[in-house]
Amino acid sequence: MSHDPLFPAARPRLARRMAVGDGHVLHVEECGPADGLPVLFLHGGPGSGCSLGQRRLFDPGRYRAIFVDQRGAGRSQPLGGLAANTTADLVADLDDIREALGIPAWLVFGGSWGSLLGLAYAQLFPERVLGLVLRGIFLGSRDEIDAYVRGDNAGPGGAHAAFAAAVPAAERGDLLGAYARRILGDDPRVAGETAAAWLNYERALIGDAPLAGPPDERQLAKARIQMHYLARDCFVAPGQLLAGAERLRHLPGAIVQGMADPVCPPQVARRLHHAWPEATWVPVAGAGHAALEPAMARACIRALDWVAEAAGVRVG
* Interval 201-244: pLDDT, tens: 999 999 899 999 999 999 999 999 999 999 999 999 999 999 99
Return the half-sphere exposure (C-beta side, CA atoms, 13 A cut-off) of residue 303: 30
Strand partners, 280: 254
- Residue 2, pLDDT > 60, answer no
Looking at per-residue pLDDT, the higher value among 227 and 156 belongs to 227
What confidence score (pLDDT) does residue 9 get? 86
Per-residue pLDDT, averaged over 253-266, amounts to 96
pLDDT digits (tens, 9 = 90+) for 39-49: 999 999 999 99
| Percent with pLDDT over 70 in the chain | 98
Distance CA 312, CA 40 (A): 18
First and final C-alpha spacing in the chain: 29
Contacts of 313 (CB under 8 A, 6+ apart): 37, 130
Q: What is the pLDDT of residue 3?
A: 81
Task: Kindly list the strands in the beta sheet with 63-69, ordered across the sheet, starting from the edge strand earlier in the chain.
Answer: 14-21, 24-31, 63-69, 37-42, 106-112, 129-137, 253-258, 280-284
Active-site residues, by number, are 112, 261, 289
Res 1: pLDDT:
40
Q: What is the pLDDT of residues 128-151, one digit of tens each?
A: 999 999 999 999 999 999 999 999
Question: Which DSSP symbol is given to 153?
Answer: S
* Mean pLDDT, residues 2-22: 92
State mean pLDDT over 157-175. 91
pLDDT at residue number 112: 98
Which residues of the chain are in CATH 3.40.50.1820 domains? Answer: 14-140+236-310
Higher local confidence (pLDDT), 158 or 278: 278
Task: State yes or no: pLDDT of 313 exceeds 80.
Answer: no
Largest CA distance in the chain: 59
Dihedral angle over CA of 118, 122, 127, 133, nearest 10: 50
Dihedral-angle region of residue 235 (phi above 0 means left; psi in -120 to 50 means alpha; beta otherwise):
left
Strands 24-31 and 63-69: antiparallel
Residue-level pLDDT at 175: 96
Question: By the 8 A CB rule, do 28 and 100 touch?
Answer: no
Residue 314: band (very low, low, confident or very high) from pLDDT cuts 50, 70, 90? low
pLDDT of 316 strictly over 70 = no
Q: Is the pLDDT of residue 280 over 90?
A: yes
Calculate the average pLDDT of the chain: 95
Percent of the chain exceeding pLDDT 90 equals: 93
Q: What is the pLDDT of residue 154?
A: 63
**Which architecture, in CATH terms, is 14-140+236-310?**
3-Layer(aba) Sandwich (3.40)
Confidence at residue 104, expressed as pLDDT on a 0 to 100 scale: 97
